[in-house]
Amino acid sequence: MSAHTPSQRRPTGSTDSQHASRHAAFDPEPHREILVALIREIEALPDEGRVLAPAALEPILRRHPRDGRGFYSRAQIIAGFRAFREEAGFTADETTFARRVQLRPVRTQSGVTPLTVLTRPHPCPGTCVFCPNDVRMPKSYLADEPGAQRAAHNEFDPYLQTWNRLAAYHAIGHPVDKVELIVLGGTWSSYPPSYQIWFVKRCFDAQNDFGSGVDRRDGICSPVGDASAIRDDTGVGYNDTVSGYLRDRLDGRLLGNGECATWAELEAAQQENETAACRNVGLVVETRPDLLSAQEVVRIRRLGCTKVQLGYQSLSDPILSANRRGHDVAATRRAMRLLRGAGFKIHAHWMPNLLGASPESDLEDFGRIFDSPDFRPDELKIYPCSLIETAELMRYYERGEWRPYTHAELLDVVAGVLGRVPRYCRVSRVIRDISSNDIVAGNKLTNFRQIAEAELERRGGACRDIRAREVRHEGVDTAALELRATPYETSTGREVFLEFVSAGDRIVAFLRLALPTERVTIGEIDGSALVREVHVYGASLELGARDGDRAQHRGLGQALVEEATRRARDAGYTDLAVISAVGTRGYYRRLGFVDGPLYQHRALDAG
């Protein structure tokens, strides 16, 4: 990210989160004397490479109150550092100072900055009994969820959501030059293709503009408008209510005039992003297994996607049927084969406590996820079923045909499954971020993962998944790292999970190498070995930056690619392809890869 701070103008009728709005209006100049003194005290504290603990920072804030009362926020302190650094002669660089006072540093400790946007409300083909029916939101989401609130404040416009979230991250000291864009909302594959292209293009536009200090938010007006106005007063259901609202707003259609773009326009935005200051290093969409086809997989890849969130929910046909999921386990198997054969990272969702399930059947069901080569996802979200008033599951609850697990039952299930996740998978979430006000009955504890991990440890077990082993902010001695390989079989061939680990089995970097044995649906990579992911952990550093002994930018990614090249060559492959993100194409070119239509390739010689 460039050193300047982009303009903070805001479009009429559009707001970001209250947090970002406060900092957008802050002018450090009237606070110069106090902020300079405050920053000097922070700089004088010993730098142990970690975020300052509240016990160290709060006494300084109390000695330098804002307007004689209250504390300066971290974003305001960082804004003061940026404004007065040169004149005041502060000794730290911006990256180091921002890290020390950073708010919620965990968000970028995995090496990239995650940015979540939501699509607007749209009819969904699913009829799942557990799914909320909040007509103000895309299907399955609730207005009280933090990401949903940000989306609603921006009227679901992709440009506004992306630009304003980048501004909020930048204000609180997070690097925004390497962004993983996560597109959530209903079922991505059910939206019109032209909307998909437009939505992704506008997200790229916002990244390109923000990185250049350009603000084009003024005048943006969502054709859908304020979705909080949508009401289901007659009880006709989600799809009919949302369809009726959209047709009233959009001249009898479900797609607004401005909600479309061409492939050429998207490709131009992608090309610009390859060298932008705010680069896309991952693009994620979520969909249903039964909506994936070979053609859909190609379209998703062409959008620039590198990861797909896929709703398993269950791997039991009777449970899927009882919950009116609309597909069977065979559909999930087909979807996994299509996605894995195309090189995507696969982020599965699994839901215990569904209608018809029991703690015993859930433990059995979870075993299928990793026991069978047909599944074995790269990442996993564990979402225990929550009872939401608008979901059809309420009727079953009121008739006594379904009940939420007790605390002890749920703890037994979650602790039991966490210990069975292999080292090549990352459990990204255990409890969905639903407000306790929306949950009618059942677990309302947001720290249930922590509770379950403690229970697993009490039983003598431990989590081996990636998230539990991430190095995060810890220092790294690259000379002492061990290269470890974990091979496993999949429905398309063999995978090798390569990782650099430090003492104590802390994961510093990893690569997913696929060695397919069957033909894939995308001809460009037929017969190629595939690099499906390269990731270096440790707190995110700006592009090209180096910071002491932290893991990023120490050549670990390149070393893993070279090891993958050797293994692919030894296995008899003549081509190594990588499913690169738009913003990482330049990196792979420097490693000897050349561009293909959808992938980048490195020829493997015989020697």
H helices within 176-316, ranges in order? 193-211, 238-249, 263-273, 294-302
Of residues 114, 160, 530, the one with CA closest to residue 345: 530
**pLDDT recorded at residue 109:** 53
pLDDT tens string 243-259: 999 999 998 999 998 99
**pLDDT recorded at residue 607:** 55
Which amino acid type is present at position 558? Answer: Q
DSSP assignment letter at 283: E
- Between CA 127 and CA 129 the distance in angstroms is 6
Provide the whole-model pTM.
0.86
Give the confidence band of 538 by pLDDT, cuts at 50, 70, 90: low
DSSP assignment letter at 530: E
Task: Please give the average per-residue pLDDT across 527-554, as a whole number.
Answer: 66
**pLDDT recorded at residue 227:** 84
Beta carbons of 418 and 466 less than 8 angstroms apart:
no
Q: Which of 39-43, 329-333, 392-396 has the lowest mean pLDDT?
A: 39-43
Chain-wide mean pLDDT for the chain? 89
**pLDDT recorded at residue 603:** 97
Which amino acid type is present at position 436? Answer: S
Q: What percent of the chain has pLDDT over 70?
A: 90
CATH architecture of 471-603: 3-Layer(aba) Sandwich (3.40)
**pLDDT recorded at residue 243:** 93
Instruction: Report whether pLDDT(546) > 70.
Output: no
- Between CA 190 and CA 201 the distance in angstroms is 18
Give the confidence band of 477 by pLDDT, cuts at 50, 70, 90: confident
pLDDT tens string 148-196: 999 999 999 999 999 999 999 988 888 899 999 999 987 999 999 999 9
Task: Give the domain 288-469 fold.
Answer: Transcription Regulator spoIIAA (3.30.750)
Q: Which of 82-96, 256-270, 273-287, 446-460 has the lowest mean pLDDT?
A: 82-96
- Token output for 521: 């649906």
Beta carbons of 66 and 72 less than 8 angstroms apart:
yes
Domain positions in the chain are 26-103, 120-284, 288-469, 471-603
pLDDT tens string 7-42: 333 333 334 444 344 335 688 888 888 888 888 888
Identify the helix (H) or strand (E) that includes residue 296.
helix 294-302
pLDDT tens string 86-139: 887 877 777 778 777 866 554 545 568 999 999 999 999 999 999 999 999 999
**pLDDT recorded at residue 537:** 85
Beta carbons of 265 and 201 less than 8 angstroms apart:
yes
Identical topology for domains 288-469 and 471-603: no
CA 412 to chain centre: 28
Instruction: Report whether pLDDT(45) > 50.
Output: yes
**pLDDT recorded at residue 554:** 65
Residue 70's contacts (CB-CB under 8 Å, 6 or more residues apart) are none
Instruction: Report whether pLDDT(557) > 90.
Output: yes
**pLDDT recorded at residue 25:** 65
**pLDDT recorded at residue 18:** 40
Query: Crossing angle for the helix pair 158-171 and 74-88, nearest 10 degrees?
Result: 60
